[in-house]
Structure 1
Amino acid sequence: PNGKFIAYTGYDDRYQGHQTTELYLMNRDGSGSHSLSAKLDRDVQDPQWAPDSTGIYFRYDDQGDSKVGFYLLDGTFKKIADHLASTTGAGGSGTFSLARTGMIALTYGRPDNPGDVAILNNGAMRVLTSLNEELLTQKKPGHVEEISFDSSKDKRKIQGWIVHPPDFDPAKKYPLVLEIHGGPFADYGDRFDLEKQVLASRGYVVLYTNPRGSTSYGEEFSNLIHHAYPGDDFYDLNSGVDAVIAKGYIDTNNLFVTGGSGGGVLTCWTIEHTDRFRAAASLYPVINWYSFALTSDIPFIAKYWFSGLPWDNTDNYMQRSLTNLVAKVKTPTLVMTGEADYRTPISEAEQFYEALKLLNIDTVLVRVPEEPHGIGRRPSHHIAKMLYIAGWFEQHKTKM
């Protein structure tokens, strides 16, 4: 605000799968550029100058929680607020704004509440709204429990969350759904998630985790899948299922798996490496990395996720494609993609569906008209997506 400095975000491009976005400061003439946030090792988003020019506020995700941070111009860091949230999904989100007085307005949410408006003044937070109070008195959300477990691959600690059905009784046995986030460079966290709550309301325990490759744990953790995705992330996901089963309340005859986009990729990868799941639902996945590089609206990722272009590295592209091990699949699988999806075109889903048909595996392909990536443009289509998944699982559930 005083016109002396320019703050900006960016990174030196090293063609990695994930590159941490840092906060930089430079003089107004472009000289003296330097990173303020290198030691933080978290992605800096939405930088905003303090009204008095003493520093910069920003949003960042840390271990599955969206926060507000602050850097003084000398690089001194301070965490300002936790639990930013403003969505109906467990992915990172939330917004904040600054008043000239220094007061901060932000969106605040918890796993049992989609989000409200709060203010932060002199370090004290006050939630101003209760936008979902009426709904939450009528519909009881499932309790969300954080879980930590070791990966069977290398004993790394993996963070996850368990959504219990409303009125959960640990003495009973429940079917389990493993729900996998997309990206793959993204994170889940202790945030309200409508789709997972819908499954929990239908009697499922839902597990969601941050396997290797997830953000909010530092660049090294994210790049464990650099030029190796899908890959060892399977072991993290499968170990999470084992950890929940060890709690004693899961019906091991009724395990299910689903995910969208990068989560759809890992859903298919999972059922190519184990037959423990009764059914799977893969939403808008990438199936063939070669065709994806030539049909997606983000073809440039070939420079980051692979060591070269597909025609120069055909073997590597195909080894990491889901067509490579599809003959191992025994799990009934629903595949769903929007017909207006330019990120993971429906031709990807069609390839997996046709392959399973050739293998005589129980499968259906759901085409959603006019829907882009995510299938959420129309509320009716979003609801239909959730009902298709739940219906597919119900159809393949065994009787206890």
Structure 2
Amino acid sequence: MLKPSRLLLPLLAALFAPLAVADTPHATTTDPRIDALLTQLGKVRSIGEVALSPDGHQLAWVVDTNDKPGIMLADADGKNAHSVGLASKPGSCSESGLAWAPDSRHLAFLSNCASSHSSMGGKQADVYVLDTQSQEKPARLSNLSGYVHALSWAPDGKSLAFLYVEGATRRASALAAAKPQTGEIGVEGIEVQRVATLPAQGGTAQWVTPADSYVYEFSWAPDSQRVAYVAAPAPGDNNWWIAQLYVQGVQADSARTALVNPGTVSGPLRGLQIAVPRWSPDGSRIAFIGGLMSDQGATGGDLYSVPASGGAPTDLTPGIHVTPAWFSWSSPQSMLVSQISSGKVQLAEYAVQADHAQQQRVLFTAPGYVGDGTAEAALSFSADHRQVAFGQSSYESAPEVYAGAIGDRMPAAVTSLNAGLKPSWGKAQSVEWNSEGFHVQGWLLYPVNYDPSKRYPMIVNIHGGPSSAVVPHWPSVGYGAAPFSALGYFVFMTNPRGSFGEGEAFVQANRKDFGYGDLRDTLAGVDAVEKLVPVDDRRLGLTGWSYGGFMSMFAPTQTQRFRAVVAGAGIANWQSYYGQNLIDQWMVPFFGASVYDDPAVYAKSSAINFIKKVKTPTLIVVGERDAECPAPQSFEYWHALRALGVPTSLVVYPNEGHHFYNPANQRDVLQRALNWFEKYLPPQ
């Protein structure tokens, strides 16, 4: 899922020009509408984080200026907002990583404004603390060398904990560009992310977790003496799918206790993934989300709990038809849960007993994606859980900060950072249908300036994951579906089986069945849309990234209904992919076995095995150093289409991983896709 930004100077664009293979479209020769659209999308000021003080009186947020994140501080209602931190002026350096102290007076954050170059290149981020009731400059607490994030105060306010990769050469994420694969693979250059602590007054960072465990998430115990965390052996990019839940004291040489091992536990959690560990307020148990998850950070499943002293985990929400993505304990017997329901994000209140949790009411349903920047669909609450703050955007509204009392309606926006921006695409509509006994939902964008007397082409977009969901959000420059609507297309974004939003059984319905049931769900959705609006079935396009890229490669082997395809970071051959990618651990939960134990289940869903059925012109794009969907997969598909005489083009973007970070590349990939569809599916 790309999060593109503005185009760099022409010199940088030349330095980072993509490698083009075959007859690629000329991304620089576009009609004026495309350039105007990309320019408008580049004006969005993105909101990276939102943090409400524990007493509910102050609000901080991180907003981009000139592609540099900076910190704003305001009253809880957004008034008296002003820039804080070390930046001499907004946009001159980067500051983020907000964390309020329990006293609601001190705000910790990360800043590279006064730092030297880091091991990752660029400037090193360090930990600072601002006294919001003083005129003094923020105090520097650390002198780090590596990648640091996820700041969190101990409940007693005496120390800060964070995730830290000492000597890091890259961001700690499978989405980031992989390191060059040189030296002794799997042995040399392994980077380990651990929990470290720092005294509130500053000093030397102390390791908490062992050097042989890669930590993905952590949570302080109420007594400030322990942490719960999710970890696995290094390398971290690969092993999140087999991570376990641990508890450990924060003092030096504290022993750790393994609480939950999904690989050996009995019951519905066996073989699945765990995320978002959270201590109950009384410290008696730890709750977490367990489910079939295809990417760290894209969280969804059932709510579970386990005694903090050890024991069997309990599924608190079996059989529910929504997908909890994040939660916060509001009392020892209640939670506030951020959940996905048929393509929408809801905040719901749950009553929690020893062995089950029951939804009491939905507090609000957001019109678009919400989040405070710390985790998927996370919200920032006051300590008493009576107030909430978050960032939100939709197809109708650009990103703003929202804050207010928790009640029966969503709080209002308290910023107007993007108030002047209006959609250049058409209206959005939720579409629901039934497919083979499943309730399925998707989002339909109308063409701009829609005329019901005309017939229109439609582009179908399938999201990545597959354990994820399309939720309305304001697009940014880079690859995405919404811009096609601005050029005269219907755009249909489906949430077929395998997606979040309909319960865990729906998520698991495409295990060992990639490309079949979810394609039938999508085609049934296309039929439903064509009964609602004037879509020309002879001008259907298909696109997607990651798993959506796989579907864009696989679908043309099963149907001739799509007349043009753009496949981003796709997978052509699950058998060869197993040995090429750096995250093979994610595949066993979905395929049921390794490729060596059951090659047939991988062959069944490999587009390359049905490649002679493909007739659809296909543009293929991928990052050169993609660890999740390696470039050889795109080469394999492109090579086959070229040999078969199918119109095709392959573009490989240098130094990019699964998530593109170079603004020039973010812009270029969207430009090429727009040109491709205009060539083969011209709006009339």
TM-score by structure 1 length? 0.88
The match for 1:81 among 364, 369, 374 is 364
* CA–CA distance in structure 1, aligned partners of residues 488 and 445 of structure 2: 10
SS in 1 for 2:549: helix
Relative distance call for 1:393 and 1:8 in structure 2 (3 A) is: same
CA offsets 1:291-345 (integer angstroms, 9 cap, x no match)? 1111212211332122322233223322221101110000111111100110000
* CA–CA distance in structure 1, aligned partners of residues 460 and 292 of structure 2: 34
The aligned counterpart of 2:440 is: 158
The answer to whether the 8 A contact 2:465-2:546 is kept is: yes
| Residue 548 (structure 2) pairs with residue 263 (structure 1) | yes
* CA–CA distance in structure 1, aligned partners of residues 299 and 329 of structure 2: 24
The answer to whether the 8 A contact 1:337-1:346 is kept is: yes
SS in 1 for 2:442: strand
Amino acid at match of 1:45: A
Residue 367 of structure 1 and its aligned partner are, at CA, apart by 0.5
Residue 86 of structure 1 and its aligned partner are, at CA, apart by 4.6
The answer to whether the 8 A contact 2:292-2:508 is kept is: no
| Residue 396 (structure 2) pairs with residue 117 (structure 1) | no
The answer to whether the 8 A contact 1:22-1:36 is kept is: yes
Relative distance call for 1:11 and 1:257 in structure 2 (3 A) is: closer
CA offsets 1:343-376 (integer angstroms, 9 cap, x no match)? 000001010000111111110101011111143x
SS in 1 for 2:369: coil
After superposing the two structures, state which structure 1 stretch, 242-251 or 352-361, moved more.
Answer: 242-251
Relative distance call for 1:314 and 1:130 in structure 2 (3 A) is: same
After superposing the two structures, state which structure 1 stretch, 71-80 or 233-242, moved more.
Answer: 71-80
Residue 109 of structure 1 and its aligned partner are, at CA, apart by 3.1
Q: Superposition pairs for residues 268-279 of structure 1, below 5 Å?
A: 268-279=553-564
* CA–CA distance in structure 2, aligned partners of residues 96 and 243 of structure 1: 35
* CA–CA distance in structure 2, aligned partners of residues 35 and 318 of structure 1: 34
The aligned counterpart of 2:424 is: 140
Query: What is the aligned-residue identity percentage?
Result: 25
The match for 1:130 among 416, 428, 433 is 416
Relative distance call for 1:155 and 1:48 in structure 2 (3 A) is: closer
The aligned counterpart of 1:57 is: 336
* CA–CA distance in structure 2, aligned partners of residues 293 and 308 of structure 1: 11
Aligned CA RMSD, in angstroms, stands at 2.8
Residue 32 of structure 1 and its aligned partner are, at CA, apart by 8.2
After superposing the two structures, state which structure 1 stretch, 311-320 or 210-219, moved more.
Answer: 311-320
Q: Using CA pairs under 8 Å that are at least 6 residues apart, name the structure with larger relative contact order, 1 or 2.
A: 2
The aligned counterpart of 1:40 is: 320
The answer to whether the 8 A contact 1:336-1:365 is kept is: yes
The match for 2:351 among 62, 67, 72 is 72
In structure 2, list runs of 5 or more residues that go unmatched.
1-221, 223-280
The aligned counterpart of 1:313 is: 598
Amino acid at match of 1:252: D
* CA–CA distance in structure 2, aligned partners of residues 225 and 27 of structure 1: 32
SS in 1 for 2:420: helix
Please identify which structure carries the higher helix content: 1
Residue 278 of structure 1 and its aligned partner are, at CA, apart by 2.1
The answer to whether the 8 A contact 2:511-2:590 is kept is: yes
Task: Report the structure number with the largest CA radius of gyration.
Answer: 2
SS in 1 for 2:565: strand
* CA–CA distance in structure 2, aligned partners of residues 109 and 41 of structure 1: 25
CA offsets 1:21-65 (integer angstroms, 9 cap, x no match)? 333345543468544333535443333232x65533232212111
Relative distance call for 1:94 and 1:116 in structure 2 (3 A) is: farther
The answer to whether the 8 A contact 1:112-1:141 is kept is: no
Residue 170 of structure 1 and its aligned partner are, at CA, apart by 1.1
The aligned counterpart of 2:679 is: 395
What is the count of residue pairs matched by the alignment? 388
* CA–CA distance in structure 2, aligned partners of residues 345 and 179 of structure 1: 21
* CA–CA distance in structure 2, aligned partners of residues 143 and 268 of structure 1: 29
The aligned counterpart of 2:565 is: 280
CA offsets 1:162-215 (integer angstroms, 9 cap, x no match)? 101222111112211111111112111344445322111111110111112212
The answer to whether the 8 A contact 2:299-2:326 is kept is: no
* CA–CA distance in structure 2, aligned partners of residues 36 and 312 of structure 1: 34
Residue 389 of structure 1 and its aligned partner are, at CA, apart by 0.7
| Residue 666 (structure 2) pairs with residue 386 (structure 1) | no
* CA–CA distance in structure 2, aligned partners of residues 95 and 386 of structure 1: 29
Relative distance call for 1:249 and 1:371 in structure 2 (3 A) is: same
* CA–CA distance in structure 2, aligned partners of residues 14 and 148 of structure 1: 24
Residue 290 of structure 1 and its aligned partner are, at CA, apart by 1.3
* CA–CA distance in structure 1, aligned partners of residues 604 and 312 of structure 2: 46
* CA–CA distance in structure 1, aligned partners of residues 609 and 520 of structure 2: 19
The answer to whether the 8 A contact 2:624-2:655 is kept is: yes
The answer to whether the 8 A contact 2:544-2:551 is kept is: yes
TM-score by structure 2 length? 0.53
Please identify which structure carries the higher strand content: 2
